[in-house]
């Protein structure tokens, strides 16, 4: 079998073994130093770190930096274990490593070793180094390109991780010494407070947020950016004009704070003022007028805003009006008068609105023009002055004819039918004043009234209408009640004299024949005005008060004759003694009977024998079976034992038991 590879010869295998042995021996002898790709750096930076001054002291101690495999520890962890300064920067987020957000995993991105004793440990490529993460971009300090580049050492002469402001100042002084001197004076020397490397504040700065034109072009930065030593303050500089120019404001703040409305950065002169911003906006014919027309001799302030400030000489009213012209005149023209006459207290309404001003204001006289109607309309008075001078009390400004007189202002208020009557009905001949208010002055007394109605018409008549007339009878001595209310006046007032009617009932109501002379008294004793019938009599005012069954009994039951007064009060006068009573009941009926009813009667007289004896219970017939004056005990005591008991007793009879000698009270043996 041929060898698959020609190299696998005996000698080759021997050589391989020998080489392996040699490597093992060399590795053991050098502490794995034969695997080192190069010498470690012997450059010492300051004091000892991790117990050594430089990495060179760690030669042969690979494990000092190379953690054991599979231990979970990275080489970066061992870097940070020794370089505690860097560890602290990372923890705090400050310093170079903190700002670069470095970590144990990224140490190798910038640092290495085994490149020789004098080789640099930092291999960060400055062209790709994220310098902006340090808080300062190299956008304006390119390391290369644009002709001349800036080297790291030019800004970091001492150390790549340190910086000092004088380095900036020194370099930029060389570029523009006068500017830098002024710049330092205005903004201080803490360059990084404002400059982050991107903004490029300087010659190429465009000031785009607030374009500098005109006078601003030559202004020193510090003139506006006062005490601005940080970027925040610098950017917070107000763009309001007054922020810088308030002290020189010749308008003393009167025209507001926005200078740019009139002025431009080109200069304070040549302002294009918006007159609306002043207290006197230009409108109407004021627009287009030469400024000097008002601002005489170019006096821009203190001109005054009243019309008279400029137009005093134009006053055709010869000073009548002390107020402002604008109260009547508009800026569009003198003739464009918009006077509110109502402000004078004399509003021009209706007919007053049309006439020319001169109709009232004759001779151009406007002030103190009288406001009375008569002042102008005296010649128009159709009443020849009879109504005085206050035409407006009746007339309106519309026309003379639509006068509306408030008659209620007179002593004769128009009510009822008077309201619709034409004025001439009463005011005959155009005479209004002095018209009498008496009814009879207009209304003639009808013949029917004769002399009986001597009083005022209004006693019975109202302005509503003559008829029906109404009389309040209650104001007389005879108040109308009951059936009298609806009765026709003529029923009682039979003559044309109303006042002679008698108040006696009999004057109107004839006494019926049935009453004869028995009813000599007043009709009202029994009758009321409600109606003649039924008549009612209060019997209780007599000696015989009606009680019990007497109350409902018809009068004729007792008063059998037409004379009511001759009726007897004795019971027997009305109630005949029944035959059953015989001669036994000689006393008064009321001994046993009440007015409640004849029956049941009850004996209320003397009765020595107990009425409830032997269970009689007050029932008379128990003992008095045949006669009230006699009695019989036999109904209860007729038994043989009773008879046997009284054997030998003389006079024993069951009808004499109650004798005084025997059983007067029903008891005893």
Partner 1 sequence: MARSRELVLALLAILAITGLYAGYAQAVSVPAASGLIGHSLGIVGFLMMLMTETLYSLRKRAMRRPRGSMRSWLQFHIFTGLVGSYLVVLHSAWSFNGLAGALTVMTIVVVGSGFVGRYIYTAVPRTADGVVIEAQELQGQLDLVRREMAMAQGAGAAIPSGTARHQDRRANRRLREIERQMAALRWARRVLATWHAIHIPLGMALFVMAFVHIGAAVHYATLLR
Instruction: Based on the shown chain and the rule CB under 8 A, indicate whether residue 471 belongs to the binding site for partner 1.
Output: no
* Of the residues 74, 389, 527, 646, which one makes contact with partner 1 according to CB under 8 A: 74
| Rg from Cα positions in the chain | 73
Of 108 and 311, nearer to partner 1 (C-beta) is 108
Distance in Å, CB of 154 to partner 1, minimum: 21
| Residue linked to tokens 């038991």 | 657
Distance in Å, CB of 127 to partner 1, minimum: 9
* Of the residues 25, 29, 30, 445, which one makes contact with partner 1 according to CB under 8 A: 30
Q: Where are the alpha helices (DSSP H) in 147-237?
A: 152-155, 165-175, 177-187, 221-224, 231-235
Distance in Å, CB of 157 to partner 1, minimum: 23
Measured CA to CA, the distance from residue 93 to residue 101 in angstroms comes to: 7
Indicate the helix (H) or strand (E) that contains 16.
Answer: helix 10-30
Count of residues touching partner 1 (by CB under 8 A): 37
Distance in Å, CB of 212 to partner 1, minimum: 43
Q: Where are the alpha helices (DSSP H) in 62-118?
A: 75-82, 84-92, 95-99, 107-110
Measured CA to CA, the distance from residue 293 to residue 291 in angstroms comes to: 5
Of 29-37, 141-149, 382-390, 479-487, the segment contacting partner 1 by CB under 8 A is 29-37
Of 11 and 447, nearer to partner 1 (C-beta) is 11
Of 70 and 488, nearer to partner 1 (C-beta) is 70
Instruction: Based on the shown chain and the rule CB under 8 A, indicate whether residue 483 belongs to the binding site for partner 1.
Output: no
Of 3-11, 164-172, 611-619, 639-647, the segment contacting partner 1 by CB under 8 A is 3-11
Of 8 and 283, nearer to partner 1 (C-beta) is 8
* Of the residues 11, 272, 608, 641, which one makes contact with partner 1 according to CB under 8 A: 11
Instruction: Based on the shown chain and the rule CB under 8 A, indicate whether residue 19 belongs to the binding site for partner 1.
Output: yes
Of 4-12, 383-391, 465-473, 598-606, the segment contacting partner 1 by CB under 8 A is 4-12
Instruction: Based on the shown chain and the rule CB under 8 A, indicate whether residue 120 belongs to the binding site for partner 1.
Output: no
Instruction: Based on the shown chain and the rule CB under 8 A, indicate whether residue 128 belongs to the binding site for partner 1.
Output: no
- Kindly report the three-state secondary structure assignment for every residue of 598-614: CCCCCCCCCCCCCCCHH
End-to-end CA distance of the chain: 182
Instruction: Based on the shown chain and the rule CB under 8 A, indicate whether residue 15 belongs to the binding site for partner 1.
Output: yes
Cβ-Cβ contacts under 8 Å for 572 (sequence gap 6 or more): 589
Indicate the helix (H) or strand (E) that contains 330.
Answer: strand 329-330
The 10 Å CB-count burial string (b at 16+, else e) for 431-454 is eeeeeeeeeeeeeeeeeeeeeebe
* Of the residues 61, 111, 115, 341, which one makes contact with partner 1 according to CB under 8 A: 115
Instruction: Based on the shown chain and the rule CB under 8 A, indicate whether residue 33 belongs to the binding site for partner 1.
Output: yes
Distance in Å, CB of 4 to partner 1, minimum: 6
67 class by beta-carbon count within 10 Å (0-12 exposed, 13-18 middle, 19+ buried): middle
Distance in Å, CB of 160 to partner 1, minimum: 18
Distance in Å, CB of 80 to partner 1, minimum: 14
Distance in Å, CB of 55 to partner 1, minimum: 15
- Asked if residues 107 and 76 have their Cβ atoms less than 8 Å apart, the reply is yes
Of 68-76, 300-308, 430-438, 583-591, the segment contacting partner 1 by CB under 8 A is 68-76
* Of the residues 25, 45, 92, 108, which one makes contact with partner 1 according to CB under 8 A: 108
* Of the residues 25, 28, 29, 75, which one makes contact with partner 1 according to CB under 8 A: 75
Measured CA to CA, the distance from residue 298 to residue 138 in angstroms comes to: 57
Of 20 and 438, nearer to partner 1 (C-beta) is 20
Of 62-70, 194-202, 403-411, 649-657, the segment contacting partner 1 by CB under 8 A is 62-70
Instruction: Based on the shown chain and the rule CB under 8 A, indicate whether residue 91 belongs to the binding site for partner 1.
Output: no
Cβ-Cβ contacts under 8 Å for 659 (sequence gap 6 or more): none
Of 70 and 247, nearer to partner 1 (C-beta) is 70
Instruction: Based on the shown chain and the rule CB under 8 A, indicate whether residue 68 belongs to the binding site for partner 1.
Output: yes
Of 108 and 464, nearer to partner 1 (C-beta) is 108
Query: What number of helices (H) and strands (E) belong to the chain?
Result: 21, 2
Distance in Å, CB of 48 to partner 1, minimum: 24
Instruction: Based on the shown chain and the rule CB under 8 A, indicate whether residue 2 belongs to the binding site for partner 1.
Output: yes
Instruction: Based on the shown chain and the rule CB under 8 A, indicate whether residue 3 belongs to the binding site for partner 1.
Output: yes
Distance in Å, CB of 2 to partner 1, minimum: 6
User: DSSP string covering 498-542, please?
Assistant: STT---SGGGTSPPPGGGTTT--S-GGGT-BTTBSSS----GGGS
Instruction: Based on the shown chain and the rule CB under 8 A, indicate whether residue 6 belongs to the binding site for partner 1.
Output: yes
Instruction: Based on the shown chain and the rule CB under 8 A, indicate whether residue 29 belongs to the binding site for partner 1.
Output: no
Of 11 and 204, nearer to partner 1 (C-beta) is 11
- Asked if residues 536 and 528 have their Cβ atoms less than 8 Å apart, the reply is yes
- Asked if residues 403 and 396 have their Cβ atoms less than 8 Å apart, the reply is yes
Q: Using the Cα atoms of residue 333, residue 334, residue 335 and residue 338 in order, give the sign of their dihedral.
A: positive
Of 122 and 301, nearer to partner 1 (C-beta) is 122
Neighbours of 183 (CB within 10 A): 21
Of 299, 251, 297, 296, the closest CA to residue 278 belongs to: 251
Instruction: Based on the shown chain and the rule CB under 8 A, indicate whether residue 539 belongs to the binding site for partner 1.
Output: no
* Of the residues 5, 148, 444, 554, which one makes contact with partner 1 according to CB under 8 A: 5
Tokens of residue 605, six digits: 């007289």
* Of the residues 31, 39, 334, 585, which one makes contact with partner 1 according to CB under 8 A: 39
* Of the residues 25, 28, 29, 35, which one makes contact with partner 1 according to CB under 8 A: 35
Instruction: Based on the shown chain and the rule CB under 8 A, indicate whether residue 26 belongs to the binding site for partner 1.
Output: yes
- Asked if residues 483 and 509 have their Cβ atoms less than 8 Å apart, the reply is no
Cβ-Cβ contacts under 8 Å for 321 (sequence gap 6 or more): 315, 327, 328, 366, 367
Q: In whole angstroms, how far apart are CA 119 and each of 43, 111, 561, 597?
A: 8, 11, 171, 158
Measured CA to CA, the distance from residue 113 to residue 122 in angstroms comes to: 8
Q: Where are the alpha helices (DSSP H) in 461-509?
A: 483-486, 489-492
Of 6 and 270, nearer to partner 1 (C-beta) is 6
Of 51, 54, 64, 52, the closest CA to residue 118 belongs to: 54
Instruction: Based on the shown chain and the rule CB under 8 A, indicate whether residue 14 belongs to the binding site for partner 1.
Output: yes
Of 34-42, 215-223, 247-255, 263-271, the segment contacting partner 1 by CB under 8 A is 34-42
Of 117 and 601, nearer to partner 1 (C-beta) is 117
Of 7 and 185, nearer to partner 1 (C-beta) is 7
Instruction: Based on the shown chain and the rule CB under 8 A, indicate whether residue 111 belongs to the binding site for partner 1.
Output: no
Cα 528–Cα 530–Cα 531 angle in degrees, nearest 5: 80
* Of the residues 46, 47, 69, 269, which one makes contact with partner 1 according to CB under 8 A: 69
* Of the residues 53, 56, 67, 110, which one makes contact with partner 1 according to CB under 8 A: 67
Of 105 and 520, nearer to partner 1 (C-beta) is 105
Which residues contribute to the site for partner 1 (CB under 8 A)? 2-7, 9, 11-16, 18-20, 23, 26, 30, 33-39, 62, 66-70, 74-75, 108, 112, 115
């Amino acid at each position: 079998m041929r060898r698959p590879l020609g190299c696998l010869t005996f000698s080759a295998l021997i050589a391989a073994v020998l080489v392996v042995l040699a490597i093992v021996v060399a590795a053991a002898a050098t502490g794995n130093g034969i695997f080192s790709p190069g010498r470690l750096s012997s450059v010492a930076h300051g004091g000892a770190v991790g117990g050594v001054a430089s990495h060179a002291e760690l030669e042969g101690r690979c494990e000092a930096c190379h953690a054991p495999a599979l231990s979970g520890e990275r080489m970066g962890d061992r870097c940070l274990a020794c370089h505690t300064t860097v560890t602290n920067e990372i923890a705090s987020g400050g310093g170079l490593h903190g700002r670069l957000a470095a970590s144990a995993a990224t140490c190798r991105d910038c640092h290495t070793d085994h490149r020789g004793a004098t080789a640099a440990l930092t291999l960060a490529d400055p062209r790709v180094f994220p310098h902006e993460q340090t808080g300062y971009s190299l956008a304006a300090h390119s390391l290369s390109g644009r002709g001349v580049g800036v080297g790291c050492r030019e800004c970091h002469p001492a150390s790549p991780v340190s910086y000092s402001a004088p380095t900036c100042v020194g370099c930029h002084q060389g570029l523009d010494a006068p500017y830098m001197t002024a710049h330092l004076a205005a903004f201080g020397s803490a360059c990084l407070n404002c400059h982050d490397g991107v903004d490029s504040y300087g010659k190429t700065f465009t000031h785009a947020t607030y374009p500098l034109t005109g006078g601003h072009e030559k202004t020193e930065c510090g003139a506006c950016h006062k005490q601005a030593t940080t970027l925040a303050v610098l950017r917070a500089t107000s763009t309001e004009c007054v922020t810088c120019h308030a002290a020189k404001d010749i308008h003393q703040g009167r025209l507001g704070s926005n200078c740019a409305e009139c002025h431009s950065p080109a200069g304070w002169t040549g302002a294009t003022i918006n007159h609306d911003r002043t207290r006197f906006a230009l409108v109407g014919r004021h627009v287009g007028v030469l400024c000097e027309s008002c601002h005489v001799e170019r006096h821009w302030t203190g001109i005054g805003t009243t019309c008279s400030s400029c137009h005093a000489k134009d006053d055709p009213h010869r000073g009548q009006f002390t107020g402002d012209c604008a109260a009547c005149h508009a800026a569009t023209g003198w003739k464009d008068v918009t006077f509110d006459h109502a402000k004078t207290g004399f509003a021009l309404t209706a007919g007053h609105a049309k006439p020319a001003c001169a109709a009232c204001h004759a001779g151009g006289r406007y002030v103190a023009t009288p406001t009375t109607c008569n002042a102008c309309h005296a010649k128009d008075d159709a009443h020849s002055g009879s109504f005085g001078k206050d035409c407006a009390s009746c007339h309106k400004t519309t026309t003379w004819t639509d006068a509306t007189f408030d008659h209620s202002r007179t002593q004769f208020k128009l009510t009822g039918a008077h309201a619709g009557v034409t004025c001439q009905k009463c005011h005959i001949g155009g005479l209004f004043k002095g018209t009498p208010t008496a009814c009879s002055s207009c209304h003639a007394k009808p013949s029917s009234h004769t002399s009986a109605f001597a009083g005022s018409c209004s006693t019975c008549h109202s302005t509503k209408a003559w008829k029906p007339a109404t009389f309040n009878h209650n104001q007389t001595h005879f108040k109308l009640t009951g059936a009298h209310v609806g009765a026709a006046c003529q029923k009682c007032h039979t003559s044309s004299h109303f006042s002679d009617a008698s108040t006696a009932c009999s004057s109107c109501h004839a006494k019926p024949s049935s009453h004869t002379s028995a009813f000599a008294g007043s009709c009202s004793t029994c009758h009321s005005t409600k109606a003649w019938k039924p008549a009612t009599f209060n019997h209780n005012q007599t000696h015989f008060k009606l009680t019990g069954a007497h109350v409902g009994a018809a009068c004729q039951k007792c008063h059998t004759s037409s004379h009511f007064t001759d009726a007897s009060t004795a019971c027997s006068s009305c109630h005949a003694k029944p035959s059953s009573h015989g001669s036994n009941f000689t006393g008064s009926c009321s001994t046993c009977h009440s007015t409640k009813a004849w029956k049941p009667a009850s004996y209320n007289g003397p009765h020595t024998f107990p009425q409830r004896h032997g269970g009689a219970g007050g029932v008379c017939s128990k003992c008095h079976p045949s006669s009230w004056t006699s009695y019989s005990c036999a109904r209860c005591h007729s038994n043989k034992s009773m008879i046997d008991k009284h054997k030998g007793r003389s006079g024993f009879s069951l009808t004499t038991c109650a004798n005084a000698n025997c059983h007067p009270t029903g008891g005893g043996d």
